[in-house]
Chains A and B, each alone.
Chain A
Amino acid sequence: MMADDDVPSDSSTLVIIVDTNPNQRYITEDPKVLTGCLDAVIAFANSHLMQKSRNELAVIGCHFHKSEYLYPSPGKPLDVRQIDGQYELFALVEKTIKMRLVNLIKSQPQEEKPGESLLAGALAMGLCFISRIRRESSPALKISSRILIVTGSSDTAAQYINYMNVFFTAQKQQVIIDVCSLDKHLSLLQQGCDITGGLYLKVPSLEGLLQYLLWVFLPEGSERRQLVLPGRGRVDYRAACFCHRELLTIGYVCSVCLSVFCKFSPICTTCHTVFKIAGPLQIKPKKKKMKV
């Protein structure tokens, strides 16, 4: 069962997406900082598991050549609670994440130059994991679910379609998307937070990362109402034209495929439809007498 916004849940599922791309500025400046960030993420993940005994966790590493689950280990049963005591579980989480991250980094192609981090793909994996947890849990259990992205990359319009599909799926399935940016302002991901009711935070410094994570992102949706958290702010929803990726207040939209262009052209470059009419269509306003 999906948890209501206002009612506290019985269990909460958290998927953390860690951007491990070596081309993030904070890593190129000092590679050791990644370890610090990873430790903060692991401590945060364990705090989540500590909150409720039924809480679930997944951590996905997003590298430039692919994304992979760092926790849980594929093929292993989800429930490792038979391990004696919490500390063993926490140690297992930490060990699994670090070991699998080493393997992920080792698998990166040597010849290729790192490109952008494909966070939309990792988000799609996270949504599938959350659906699985919901399927496998007892229908009476109220489960709240969210995905937290921790990244120092910038978001580019190239992944726009994947991002939007993922955001709308999350919205439909009541999955919150939270974003913790370590470096740049991420306007696309901020839209995702806004669409799904999640929080967007650009941390002022990496020093206190764990504190920011715990303070802003640890409370689940239903608990956030009572807390003073960073405001959503205004989100820019102007459309970007497909031709120059520039934000528009007035544009031309192909009625077949809904591609956006900044200028009128006789053929749609996306779906190759040839427009019969010489000029852009003008929709006449309906004549209406208004009583004021």
Chain B
Amino acid sequence: MADDEQDSKEYRWETGYEKTWEAIKEDEDGLVEGLVAEFAQKAARKAVTQRRGPVRLGMMRHLLVAIDCSEAMSSQDLKPTRFLCTLKLLEKFIEEFFDQNPLSQLGLVTMKNKRAEKISELSGNVRKHIKVVQGLSNMTLTGEPSLQNTLELAGRVLKPLPAHASRELLVLFASLTTCDPGDISVSVQNLKNEGIRCSVIGLAAEVRICKKLCQDTGGEYGVVLDDVHYRSLLLEQTSPPPRARALDAGLVKMGFPHSAPPSTQSDTEPPITVCMCHIEEGEGVGGEGHLCPQCRSKYCSLPAQCRTCGLTLASAPHLARSYHHLFPVDPFEELKNEGQSQFCFACVRSFTDTDKQIYRCNRCLEHYCWECESMISTTLHVCPGCASRPHLYQRLPDTA
């Protein structure tokens, strides 16, 4: 475990504000404030470099998240317990996932008593998934999980999906053992052949079969050190994985329902007023909705896949939310603050002695403070200087 210890030490300097603060409290000079700023800045930089991926990504993701609900989850090494900590982080994860992968679908699976059970169908409904996660908190944690049964279930759910979409399984695994009915390596091989990417986040210690699963299927394997590390491992899974070679790129026919009511003149059939997404629950009659432009089925929220004709239904902003992956901002250059500029171009904050580094966009040559640099590269994805200059701003691709 010597390795782990080293990792955790290194980690402490990189988690950002709270932890760093602890580490430098001993410093008795008046330099503390500057140090905090410097460490926070480094942490922010690190987060950005990690998040920057290749530009071409598969954006229609289908992800199953399997949650270990076995006895091993009741351990209190994560507060308040591994299980409750997991549920709390999952809520955040689900929101982030759909934020970054708007046309994607997610499903939830529980693992306990040697069984894997689907508790939330693959869908793009954020609120529904979060409700399911919240509903788990009183579950009794018993028995052993079965990784093989989980893999088999994932295969059954993900296999029928079209190959242009990425198909992924994420296992949150606390147990150190798995209780399998057969040879698990056969199941691993099957998923590998199907191009289903499996990642595992271990809550206890490294487990060999988990590592092999991730290696063989091109996924990622990580073992959490503490709750903050858990959070970052989990949130890393929200960025789309590099497009696997096996995936077929394709043009997908898609519907963009117009919110205006359809013209009534030529229609003899009355419009369907029950929304298809809630038909099973017996709600959703009447009210506003989005009509599938192909078959007129009604949906109360987008995105959705039409259950009648199969058309993917979305609105323009659903697509646009992902364009920043395609048109990323070039990373800014980190420069030693030598008085090149008096203030940050974006927020007009004056640079002071605590600003050891400032940042420059090498296209528009404007200078930025580290806070703005971090916001631009992680959230905004627009260089304010470039975006306000006629020769530099990000235009839509020119018409052919």
Query: Known: A120-B387, A165-B382. Is A252-B254 also a contact (CB below 8 A)?
Result: yes
Closest CB-CB distance, A246 to chain B, in whole Å? 11
Say whether A44 faces chain B, with CB atoms less than 8 Å apart: no
Binds A, one of B67-75, B332-340, B344-352: B344-352
A121 & B382 in contact (Cβ 8 Å cutoff): yes
Closest CB-CB distance, A158 to chain B, in whole Å? 5
Complex alpha-carbon distance, A290 and B390, angstroms: 55
Which chain B residue has the least Cβ–Cβ distance from A64?
A: B390
Say whether A218 faces chain B, with CB atoms less than 8 Å apart: no
Number of A-B contacts defined by CB within 8 Å? 260
Query: Known: A65-B389, A258-B322, A285-B306. Is A237-B316 also a contact (CB below 8 A)?
Result: yes
B323 & A258 in contact (Cβ 8 Å cutoff): yes
Binds A, one of B52-60, B84-92, B130-138: B52-60
Cβ contacts A256-292/B at 8 Å (1 or 0 each)? 1111110011001111011111001111111010111
Which chain B residue has the least Cβ–Cβ distance from A131?
A: B375
B56 & A169 in contact (Cβ 8 Å cutoff): no
Cβ contacts B148-168/A at 8 Å (1 or 0 each)? 000000000000001011000
Which chain A residue has the least Cβ–Cβ distance from B293?
A: A249
Say whether B294 faces chain A, with CB atoms less than 8 Å apart: yes
B249 & A276 in contact (Cβ 8 Å cutoff): yes
Question: A residues within 8 A CB of B310?
Answer: 282-285
B305 & A254 in contact (Cβ 8 Å cutoff): no
B380 & A166 in contact (Cβ 8 Å cutoff): yes
B256 & A285 in contact (Cβ 8 Å cutoff): no
Question: A residues within 8 A CB of B56?
Answer: 256-257, 271, 273
Say whether A215 faces chain B, with CB atoms less than 8 Å apart: no
Question: B residues within 8 A CB of A131?
Answer: 347, 371-372, 375
Say whether A141 faces chain B, with CB atoms less than 8 Å apart: no
B382 & A166 in contact (Cβ 8 Å cutoff): yes
A256's contact among B58, B162, B305, B371, by CB below 8 Å, is which?
A: B58
Say whether A132 faces chain B, with CB atoms less than 8 Å apart: yes
Say whether B1 faces chain A, with CB atoms less than 8 Å apart: no
A160 & B254 in contact (Cβ 8 Å cutoff): no
B162 & A124 in contact (Cβ 8 Å cutoff): no
Cβ contacts A11-36/B at 8 Å (1 or 0 each)? 00000000000000000000000000
B254 & A120 in contact (Cβ 8 Å cutoff): no
Say whether A191 faces chain B, with CB atoms less than 8 Å apart: yes
Query: Known: A237-B256, A243-B399. Is A121-B250 also a contact (CB below 8 A)?
Result: no
Question: B residues within 8 A CB of A270?
Answer: 326, 397
Which chain B residue has the least Cβ–Cβ distance from A271?
A: B56
Which chain B residue has the least Cβ–Cβ distance from A167?
A: B317
Closest CB-CB distance, B267 to chain A, in whole Å? 16
Query: Known: A74-B343, A162-B382, A169-B380. Is A250-B400 also a contact (CB below 8 A)?
Result: no
Question: B residues within 8 A CB of A74?
Answer: 342-343, 348, 350
Say whether A210 faces chain B, with CB atoms less than 8 Å apart: no
Cβ contacts A99-133/B at 8 Å (1 or 0 each)? 00000000000001001101011101101110110
Say whether B321 faces chain A, with CB atoms less than 8 Å apart: yes
Closest CB-CB distance, B317 to chain A, in whole Å? 6
B259 & A276 in contact (Cβ 8 Å cutoff): no
Query: Known: A72-B348, A161-B396, A249-B293. Is A261-B390 also a contact (CB below 8 A)?
Result: no
Closest CB-CB distance, B285 to chain A, in whole Å? 11
Closest CB-CB distance, A288 to chain B, in whole Å? 6
Closest CB-CB distance, B160 to chain A, in whole Å? 8
B259 & A162 in contact (Cβ 8 Å cutoff): no
Say whether B308 faces chain A, with CB atoms less than 8 Å apart: yes
Query: Known: A239-B319, A242-B397. Is A75-B387 also a contact (CB below 8 A)?
Result: no
Question: B residues within 8 A CB of A238?
Answer: 256, 258, 315-316
Complex alpha-carbon distance, A244 and B254, angstroms: 17
Question: B residues within 8 A CB of A284?
Answer: 310
B388's contact among A121, A165, A195, A280, by CB below 8 Å, is which?
A: A121
Task: Please provide the 8 A-B residue pairs with the shortest distance between their CB atoms, ordered closest to farther.
Answer: A121-B388, A121-B387, A128-B346, A164-B320, A285-B310, A237-B315, A132-B347, A67-B388
The 25 sampled A-B contact pairs (Cβ below 8 Å) are: A66-B388, A72-B348, A75-B342, A112-B390, A116-B390, A121-B386, A121-B389, A127-B380, A128-B384, A132-B349, A157-B396, A172-B379, A191-B316, A236-B260, A253-B253, A253-B312, A256-B57, A256-B249, A258-B326, A260-B319, A268-B249, A280-B251, A283-B305, A284-B310, A290-B280
Q: Which residues of A contact B (CB under 8 A)?
A: 58, 62, 64-67, 69, 72, 74-75, 112, 115-116, 118, 120-122, 124-125, 127-129, 131-132, 135, 157-162, 164-169, 172-173, 191, 195, 234-240, 242-245, 248-261, 264-265, 268-271, 273-277, 280-286, 288, 290-292
Q: Which residues of B contact A (CB under 8 A)?
A: 56-60, 99, 103, 162, 164-165, 243, 248-260, 279-280, 293-294, 305-312, 314-317, 319-324, 326-327, 342-350, 371-372, 375-376, 379-390, 393-397, 399-400
